[in-house]
Structure 1
Amino acid sequence: MGFRGFIVLVVLMGTRRGPTAAVSLKDMSAHPVLVAESQKDLTEEEGDRDVMATGELNPNHFPARRAAKVVQHYLNTRYGSPYRLFGLEEVLSATAEEVDDTGRRYHLQISAHEIISNRKQKCSAEVFFPRGEPTQPAEVKASCEELLQNTTAQEEALYQRYKGNHSLLSAQYIPDSHGHIEPDMMPFWHLSIVASSFIMLNESTENTLYNMAQVAQITQLETESDELKFDSHMLLHDMVSQEILHWKLLFTWSPVGGVKVQQMKQIPKPVH
C-alpha cells in the first residue's frame, strides 16, 4: 500500500521553522547535471501532455520522460547512498500499452547516469501505473548493474565520523539561495535526494514529474541503533503544477542497511 494519505503514528520530535530562502530553478541542485536535467524537463514543448497515447512514444515528450523519471527515483531507492546518486541522462526509446482496465505499462530504453562517478549506462526498464482508488504507487522493473561502483570505504568513513560525533549534525537550506553547498554537506545533499526519492516514487503518477528542490532542514537524532537517524524537511518540485511541496521525512542510513524511511508526511506550505 502506498504512502498517499499516510497517517503518522509517531509524532516527529521537535519543531522546525519554515524555510525563508527563495527556491528557484537554479536552486534545485548544486550539481550541473541535475540542473540541466531539470531545465530540460521544464522546457519541453508537449502538446500531447494529457493524451495518453499507446504504441511508440516520442522519447522527448512528457509521457516518456515522466515514466523514465520514475525509474530514476526507483534506482535511487534501491542503490543510492551519500556517494552514489542516479540521474536520467536521456530517454532512448519508449512504448506504452493499456493493461486491460488496470493501468498502463511503459517499456523504456534509457541512458542512466551515476552522477558522482560520472558513469553512464543504457538500461531497459518497465513502469506500470495502476489505476483505481486508493491510488497505488508505480511498479518498476529496472537494472543498471554497471553503474554500481563500490563506495564502501567512503560510506564507512562518513558513517564513523558522524556516529561517533559528540555534536549532532544540524543544517538548513541545502543548497542556499545562491545554489551553493558547503563541501561537508554534499554527502547529506546526496543522501537527502536518495531519501526523498522514496516520496517521489510513491507519489508519482501519470500526471506528475518530481524533482528534489531543497533541504529546508536536516537534523541528526540521537539513537542507540547502528544507523544514523535524521529528521528532515524536504522541498520537492512538481514540474507539472509548478508547485513546491513540503514534506517531513524521518529516515535512517548506514553503509550496511542503506536508507530506510520510517515516516513521511506532506505538510502545509509555511505562511510568512
Structure 2
Amino acid sequence: MNLTILIVMAVLTGVLGSPYVTDTDVTPGSDSAGMSAHPNSVPEAADGTEVFHEEGVVEEEGVEEDVMATGELNPSHYPAQRAANVVKHYLNTRYGSPYRWVGLHKVHSANAEEVAESGRKYHLEISVQEMTGNTTEKCSAEVLFPALENQRSPQVQASCEALLTANTTAQEEALYQQYRRNHTLLSGHNLPDSYGHIDPDMKPLWHLGGVASSFVMLKESTENTLYNMAQVANVTQLETENDQLRFNYHVLLHDMVSQEIIHWKLLVTWSPAEGVKVLQMEELPKCEHCEVPPKPN
C-alpha cells in the first residue's frame, strides 16, 4: 500500500509541480517581484529619489489607505507625503505669485502624534522647490489635522525663510503693468494642452492658477486626501477693480487617493502689493470620465 501511495504522489508532482513555492521562485522584474513592497510606498526612480510631477506631487495609480500610525513615519509613505503637501499649499497661500510657485521636492523625516481632543500632529523636515526659479530649500513644519468632529482645515506652522530671499518684485511689477495695459482682456484654456504644452506667454497664468488652487487644496485637505492641480481648464481676465487684477479660473484638481478629477471655479485677484487672494471658490459637478491631462514639458 505504501509503495502505491508513493508512486501516485510522484506522478502528481510531475504533472502539477511542487505544492511549495519559495521566494526564489519569483522572477526578478516580474509583477510578483514587487509584492513585498509597502502598498503606500512612493514610487522611486532608478537612482533612489522620489518621482515627482512638476508641482511636486507623487503620481501613483491605486493608492491604498494606510493605518494611521504615530511615532516615526516612513518619509516615502503616503501619510507623511499628505502632510508635507499640505505644507506646500500653505506656503503658496502665504507667499505665492505668478513668479513664486512652491512644489514639494522631498520629505526628509516625519513623525506623528495624537493630540488629545485636537487631532493628529505631524512634525516634518522637508525640501520645497520654487518652481519658477527652480531653487530648492529645506523647511521645518508642523501640520495639525483636526479631529473629525471638528471638520476644520489643517493648521500649519512652517519655517521657510529662504523662500523669501528670491526677489521677484521687478518681474511681478512688469507683468502687472502689462496686464493692466492690455486693450483686450486675456483668456486661455487647457493649460497644459493634450500634449503637455503651455505657451510661454500663458505660463504666468498657469502659475497663478496653481497658487490659487492651493487655497482650495489647503481648505479641503484631510489625512485621507492627496491633491494636485492637474490643469487650468479656462482662465479669463476681468475688469480691474481697486488696482487688483481679477481673473475667473476653472481648474481641475486630482485627488490621488480616490483618483477623482474635481472641478472648481475660482474668482482670483492679484497685485504685487496685495498678493494673491481667492475671493470665491465653488466646487462644480463631478466629471466621472475625465482623465488627468499630461504634465507640462
Fold match (TM-score > 0.5)? yes
* SS of residue in 2 equivalent to 1:52: coil
Map 1:251-266 onto structure 2 (within 5 A).
251-266=268-283
CA distance in 2, matches of 1:253, 1:162: 11
Q: Does 1:76 align with 2:95?
A: no
State the Cα deviation string for residues 7-31 of structure 1 (Å, max 9, x = none): xxxxxxxxxxxxxxxxxxxxxxxxx
Map 1:1-272 onto structure 2 (within 5 A).
34-35=53-54, 37-38=56-57, 40-42=58-60, 49-133=65-149, 135-148=151-164, 149-269=166-286
The alpha carbon displacement at 1:35 in A equals 4.0
- Counterpart position of 2:31: none
Q: What amino acid maps onto 2:178 in structure 1?
A: R
CA distance in 1, matches of 2:203, 2:76: 30
Does the CA-based 8 Å contact 1:121-1:144 persist in structure 2?
A: yes
CA distance in 2, matches of 1:54, 1:270: 36
Number of residues of Structure 1 aligned to a counterpart in Structure 2: 238
Structure 2 unaligned runs (5+)? 1-50, 290-297
State the Cα deviation string for residues 59-100 of structure 1 (Å, max 9, x = none): 000000000000010111111110111111110000000001
Q: After the TM superposition, which of the residue ranges 223-232 and 184-193 deviates more from structure 2?
A: 223-232
* SS of residue in 2 equivalent to 1:166: coil
Q: After the TM superposition, which of the residue ranges 129-138 and 180-189 deviates more from structure 2?
A: 129-138
Does the CA-based 8 Å contact 1:34-1:87 persist in structure 2?
A: no
Does the CA-based 8 Å contact 1:46-1:61 persist in structure 2?
A: no
Does the CA-based 8 Å contact 1:92-1:111 persist in structure 2?
A: yes
State the Cα deviation string for residues 113-164 of structure 1 (Å, max 9, x = none): 1122121111100000001345210000002111221100000010000111
Does the CA-based 8 Å contact 1:93-1:108 persist in structure 2?
A: yes
CA distance in 2, matches of 1:202, 1:269: 18
The alpha carbon displacement at 1:36 in A equals 8.3
Structure 1 unaligned runs (5+)? 1-31
CA distance in 2, matches of 1:85, 1:211: 13
State the Cα deviation string for residues 21-50 of structure 1 (Å, max 9, x = none): xxxxxxxxxxx9634844x3426x976x33
* SS of residue in 2 equivalent to 1:223: strand
Using CA pairs under 8 Å that are at least 6 residues apart, name the structure with larger relative contact order, 1 or 2.
1
CA distance in 2, matches of 1:37, 1:271: 25
Q: 1:271 to 1:71 in 2, by over 3 A?
A: closer
CA distance in 1, matches of 2:52, 2:117: 38
Q: After the TM superposition, which of the residue ranges 222-231 and 179-188 deviates more from structure 2?
A: 222-231
Does the CA-based 8 Å contact 1:229-1:253 persist in structure 2?
A: yes
Does the CA-based 8 Å contact 1:102-1:132 persist in structure 2?
A: no
Report which of the two structures shows the higher radius of gyration computed on alpha carbons. 2
Does the CA-based 8 Å contact 2:72-2:111 persist in structure 1?
A: yes
Q: What amino acid maps onto 2:68 in structure 1?
A: M
Does the CA-based 8 Å contact 2:231-2:251 persist in structure 1?
A: yes
CA distance in 1, matches of 2:55, 2:156: 25
* SS of residue in 2 equivalent to 1:42: coil
CA distance in 2, matches of 1:70, 1:271: 26
Q: After the TM superposition, which of the residue ranges 178-187 and 132-141 deviates more from structure 2?
A: 132-141
The alpha carbon displacement at 1:101 in A equals 2.5
The alpha carbon displacement at 1:265 in A equals 0.9
State the Cα deviation string for residues 220-251 of structure 1 (Å, max 9, x = none): 11133101001111100000000000001001
CA distance in 2, matches of 1:55, 1:183: 45
CA distance in 2, matches of 1:137, 1:253: 23
Q: Percent identity?
A: 64
